[in-house]
Structure 1
């Protein structure tokens, strides 16, 4: 900012304020009393004007700081100044400079702590898995502490062999899924809790039951129907029609395959490689080839349901905000 003072012939001084060369100037006229006061401040010996930067005692209130702009004269003032907005071109530049803007500190979302109890079934989150697990615990206790001959009769009546499938297919298909081969300490019992809990939390109880039953029924029929045809053509003895076949392993294998489709790539590959590799290893041992083939078929059934279970998961995820809004009364 620079100031140019001009004193005309009638001892009236004009001060011209401007920000830069070429910018519009504001002419301020100070009356004669200011010029007289400045003359009184002259050095009596040398007659030189006072030095720049020394404070001056002004007797007039017409001086306005440069940052505030010129005082509007009555002649040039608009008739109605209410709501008038000064244009950017006529507004004087502020001598204080731009106000520094402090960078905003982004607040990161609080990190969610791991909740391991979600791996197990709960009454509200996974009611189907919890109820089914209680039934399996009860039948396992019966198989553990009841009379062995009585337990054998129950297992034989619940077996999905060819003879029972031809006589009471629906009854034995449901009854065979009420037992855990090997009891609650078997690997499939632990897999049941973890896999069905995770799948039910992502798709819902009825859909999880559908995946389990689909794998259980289709894998059972895929292994028992060939046995019936082999006995019919004479490749297997007649005793193969009454083999014991019960348990939850086919349904659990189907749920493992379906759950893998809802995981991210690395966990998905890990689950398929570990679980599928164990099934192939059992098949190579050739201890129970029909059951081992059934496990691989059930896993393939679950993998084939990836498009369906992914659609179920998207539908369940999109319905949660609406359900929360309805519960809150919005």
Structure 2
């Protein structure tokens, strides 16, 4: 007498060649339930990129490795702003007057005046100039590099300063302005910032470019027409124009830093 044989649902169906152990690694199961090995002739798909939103946010602010010029300059401006807020007002006033880029200081110590005036933020660390500096200089440096971003900033700071102060000196010499016009409090990063903004506008999408330039130009013209500080108002407009004039140069620099095959902005 033979022992009873337990029948399975697959009894009577020809067995498949091979076994589970012979199914290649990485095989997948199709809707019919059969294990299917991938075609070795097809190229393997690259792994899906891992999205990290915090990295995109980090690129908006300066970092020591990514934007050393902006990061280091921001630390200097933070230090001078904290000093101006908490130090003795008389000492702060003397330092600001000594850093002023008026005609008298430019005639006596031009290099010291030009460098010293760029170490302070008019309005303090919470002013619009401070916020604009962080985002504009960071974006510009990431596109064209630290030394070139510093050169654009310095070009606007020096050129706009001389373009506004030299006519004052000539007007005093010719008698059209009093001697007191040679001494005025003029310091800050605004001229360099406006030039950097104008240069950066040439590296972004056209809609953003012309919208940002239009809004900023309207604000600067309104400040100029208010006659609160006409000399600074003209300087801001000239600095912005200098930045726009840098478009061919910054676009060439940006293209040189763009990896082959990457999308570029017209």
Taking structure 1 as the reference length, the TM-score comes to: 0.63
Q: Which residue, out of 168, 186, 192, partners 2:133?
A: 192
SS of the residue 2:59 aligns to: helix
SS of the residue 1:119 aligns to: coil
Give the aligned partner of residue 209 of structure 1.
150
Q: Distance in 2 between matches of 1:319 and 1:264?
A: 19
SS of the residue 1:178 aligns to: coil
Q: Distance in 1 between matches of 2:124 and 2:261?
A: 37
Q: Which residue, out of 232, 252, 259, partners 2:193?
A: 252
Name stretches of at least 5 consecutive residues in structure 1 with no aligned partner.
1-105, 322-330
Q: How many pairs align? A: 216
User: Which residues of 2 match residues 46-85 of structure 1 at below 5 A?
Assistant: none
Q: Any idea what the Cα deviations from partners look like across 1:205-254, whole Å, max 9, x if unmatched? A: 00000000000000000000000011111111111101011000000000
Give the aligned partner of residue 283 of structure 1.
224
Q: Distance in 1 between matches of 2:105 and 2:223?
A: 26
Give the aligned partner of residue 61 of structure 2.
120
State the Cα distance separating 1:112 from its structure 2 match: 5.2
Q: Distance in 1 between matches of 2:71 and 2:62?
A: 5
Question: Using a 3 Å threshold, how does the CA distance of structure 1 residues 227 and 157 change in structure 2: closer, same or farther?
Answer: same
Structure 1 runs of 4+ off > 2 angstroms?
Answer: 106-114, 318-321
Q: Which residue, out of 151, 155, 170, partners 2:96?
A: 155
Taking structure 2 as the reference length, the TM-score comes to: 0.78
Pair member with larger Rg: 1
State the Cα distance separating 1:281 from its structure 2 match: 0.9
The question of 1:168 aligning with 2:109 is answered yes
Q: Distance in 2 between matches of 1:277 and 1:109?
A: 45
The question of 1:138 aligning with 2:82 is answered no
Q: Distance in 2 between matches of 1:224 and 1:154?
A: 20
SS of the residue 1:125 aligns to: coil
Q: Distance in 2 between matches of 1:225 and 1:134?
A: 31
Q: Distance in 2 between matches of 1:237 and 1:320?
A: 60
SS of the residue 1:121 aligns to: coil
Q: Which has the higher helix share?
A: 2
Q: Distance in 2 between matches of 1:125 and 1:226?
A: 40
State the Cα distance separating 1:200 from its structure 2 match: 0.3
Q: Distance in 2 between matches of 1:319 and 1:137?
A: 38
Question: Using a 3 Å threshold, how does the CA distance of structure 1 residues 320 and 179 change in structure 2: closer, same or farther?
Answer: farther
The question of 1:302 aligning with 2:227 is answered no
State the Cα distance separating 1:318 from its structure 2 match: 4.1
Give the aligned partner of residue 119 of structure 2.
178
Q: Distance in 1 between matches of 2:92 and 2:245?
A: 36
> CA RMSD, aligned part only?
2.0
Q: Distance in 1 between matches of 2:127 and 2:146?
A: 24
Name stretches of at least 5 consecutive residues in structure 2 with no aligned partner.
1-44
